[in-house]
Structure 1
Amino acid sequence: MAGLWRKIFRTGRVAEPAPVRPYATPAQGSVAAELAGSVQVRHVDAGSCNGCEVEIGSAFGPVYDADRYGARLVASPRHADALLVTGPVTRNMAEPLRRTYAAVPTPKVVVAVGDCARNCGVFAGAYGVAGAVRDVVPVDMEIEGCPPRPEQIVAALRGLTGR
């Protein structure tokens, strides 16, 4: 047993150093500085095909674990700092999206996830589509892809938290 302890002390730390994380300062006037290192996220499906939802589930799952960067999914918009909106906004979801946006306390951030949320994607011009997310509520950040990879979603959430 003593030989094992000697080997551990001789070897030292084997893990690589943590990457440098840019922290936002209040002087930058960014939302990350106002959110103070954590962000509570409410997901809103405005009419998507559920491809983006699978990737959001992966981003918050055990592999990509967005929670370790201070991002957490919440069930109520009243507890949220940010909205993750997926899909083109359908006519039936335009008013609920506006109400959800109004229920989020300030400072609030809206993230359009996926090509459909950004510019209606393949659903552009469909009779049931009211438009992109930015046509209904103000959008602060967009994540491209159909669907976007979990790494992109986690990177955007890290940008919100300043980590």
Structure 2
Amino acid sequence: IEMAASATPRFDGDRFGVLFRSSPRQSDVLLVNGPISKKFADPIVRLWEQMPEPKYCIAMGECAISGGPYYQSYNILEGVDTVIPVDIYIPGCPPRPEASIDGFGKLREKIIRIGGAPSTGRDGDKPIIVGDD
């Protein structure tokens, strides 16, 4: 729901170049939200591996960041960063549309700063937390 709100004319994510694609082969950013079950960890890794370089990941919402209220459940991962590298964390339950747009802006700044380097060279590159200015 929060991503749908970000795509409305009021927030207009298109002006920042945010376009939603249904294929990982057409995507630069993997946006993960919701709790990640252990059964769904392998499909997320496969999606990540199918994306072309350079690629980036945004964890959106407390469930994707830490498991949310399900963090101690036997079948929920304690964050998507346990299976793939995350570049931007957007906290909130649910995050506000302004926060998601700010997250894409911070990702843009990060891409400019690192020069769009392939995501395989992430050594020493810390993820950014939206709202942690």
1:130 corresponds to which of 61, 72, 77: 77
1:77 corresponds to which of 15, 24, 30: 24
1:93 corresponds to 2:40:
yes
Q: CA deviation at 1:130?
A: 2.9
Q: Which runs of 5+ in 2 are unaligned?
A: 113-133
SS of residue paired to 2:77: strand
CA offsets, 1:81-116, max 9 Å, x none? Answer: 001001221022100000000011111110000011
Structure 1 equivalent of residue 2 of structure 2: 55
1:141 corresponds to which of 72, 85, 88: 88
Q: CA deviation at 1:62?
A: 1.5
Q: Which amino acid aligns with 2:12?
A: D
SS of residue paired to 1:71: coil
Please identify runs of 4+ aligned residues in structure 1 that moved more than 3 A: none
Structure 2 equivalent of residue 109 of structure 1: 56
Does the CA-based 8 Å contact 1:55-1:147 persist in structure 2? yes
Q: CA deviation at 1:159?
A: 2.3
Aligned identity (percent) is 37
Does the CA-based 8 Å contact 2:36-2:76 persist in structure 1? yes
CA offsets, 1:47-96, max 9 Å, x none? Answer: xxxxxxx0101001121110111111111000000010012210221000
Higher deviation after alignment, 97-106 or 125-134: 125-134
User: What is the TM-score when the length of structure 2 is the normalising length?
Assistant: 0.78
Aligned residues: 110
CA offsets, 1:117-161, max 9 Å, x none? Answer: 111110111122133100011111100000000000011112233
Bigger Rg, which one: 1
Structure 2 equivalent of residue 4 of structure 1: none
CA offsets, 1:2-56, max 9 Å, x none? Answer: xxxxxxxxxxxxxxxxxxxxxxxxxxxxxxxxxxxxxxxxxxxxxxxxxxxx010
